[in-house]
Structure formats: structure tokens, C-alpha cells
Amino acid sequence: MTTSDRSAELTPGVEELEAQERRLVFRRFTHDDAWALGSLLVEMARERQAPVAVDIHRAGQQLFHAALPGSSPDNDAWIARKRRVVERYGSASYLVGARHRAKGTTFEESSRLDPDTYAAHGGSFPVTVADVGVIGAVTVSGLPQLEDHRLVVEALERFLGERTE
């Protein structure tokens, strides 16, 4: 198996990414939930010594933000660009990029959106509330895009798993 075969095997497809979104849904999402989720992400990033920034927005309001050692102002710019993709498309920024790649193109080529404003790179995931829809986004920036995406998904799985027991 070649390195590119292993990478493809580890890279989630559109169907898997869509399944993540269907699975990772909140019953409600309060300011306290944003604080707890953001704090969990910070804890996970610190354990991994990940140089990331973490951001949670709901309905246009920033509810949580943290910048860990090694992150930079560039991470905040990436957060804003990835979050705008979630807000516009109602899907994870990595999923939006994957849908374009699956069609043999790129988000930058096909979307006709300003790449200084929108980035369909991994790391921003919709905050979806059951029977309501997408109300915000949780975003991480500082790692390669698939690692940013996976960190957010893992945190959401832990957070929502704790809430359903």
C-alpha cells in the first residue's frame, strides 16, 4: 500500500462526513454549553500540545475564544474564513471542501467566493440543534485541516456523549 493509498484510506469521504453531521446534534445549546465545549477543546489541545485557537459562535455572537501557545493571529483569520463557510452552507467546512473535491474541482475554483473571506478547509463544524437547525459553529485552527476537523469532531463526540448518559 502506498503512502497516498494510506492517506486516502484515512481521509473521510463525503458520506462519512455527512453522517458525522447527522449524529452530532444538540438538544439545546446555551452559553454554558459553549463554555464547557470550548473548555473541553482547550483541555484536549493542551494534552496534545496543539498550537491552536478555538472559537465558538452562536447566532453571530462569539461565545468562546481561546488561543493556545504557538497559535497566531493568522489562526483567528482562518477561524473567521472557515466559520463563514459553515454559516453560508450549513455544513462543516471540511465537508464543503470534500464535496467540491468529489466533483473533481476545488471550492476556490467553483464557489466564486472571495478566498480571503471563505475557506472550505477543515476545522469548523456546525452547531446544530434538533428541530431548529444550524445555529452556530465551533472552530479550531492551527493544525493541518483534517486534524483540525478531527479534533472538533472528537470533542463533540465526547461532549454529546456525556450529555446523553
Whether 139 shows a pLDDT value over 50: the answer reads: yes
Q: Looking at residue 2, what is its pLDDT?
A: 40
Q: Is 4 left (phi over 0), alpha (psi -120 to 50) or beta?
A: alpha
Residue 125 CB neighbours (<10 A): 30
Q: Looking at residue 162, what is its pLDDT?
A: 75
Q: Looking at residue 163, what is its pLDDT?
A: 63
CA distance 70 to 45: 11
Q: Looking at residue 61, what is its pLDDT?
A: 97
pLDDT digits (tens, 9 = 90+) for 36-93: 999 999 999 999 999 999 999 999 999 999 999 999 999 999 999 999 999 999 999 9
Q: Looking at residue 128, what is its pLDDT?
A: 98
Cβ-Cβ contacts under 8 Å for 90 (sequence gap 6 or more):
126, 133, 134
pLDDT digits (tens, 9 = 90+) for 89-118: 999 999 999 999 999 999 999 999 999 999
CA distance 77 to 36: 23
CB 97 within 8 Å of CB 86: no
Q: Looking at residue 10, what is its pLDDT?
A: 82
Q: Looking at residue 119, what is its pLDDT?
A: 98
Stronger pLDDT, 6 or 144, i.e. the higher one: 144
CA distance 36 to 34: 6
Q: Looking at residue 5, what is its pLDDT?
A: 39
CB 51 within 8 Å of CB 68: yes
Q: What is the mean pLDDT of residues 4-17?
A: 71
CA distance 141 to 144: 8
pLDDT digits (tens, 9 = 90+) for 14-26: 999 999 999 999 9
Q: Looking at residue 4, what is its pLDDT?
A: 40
CB 137 within 8 Å of CB 126: yes
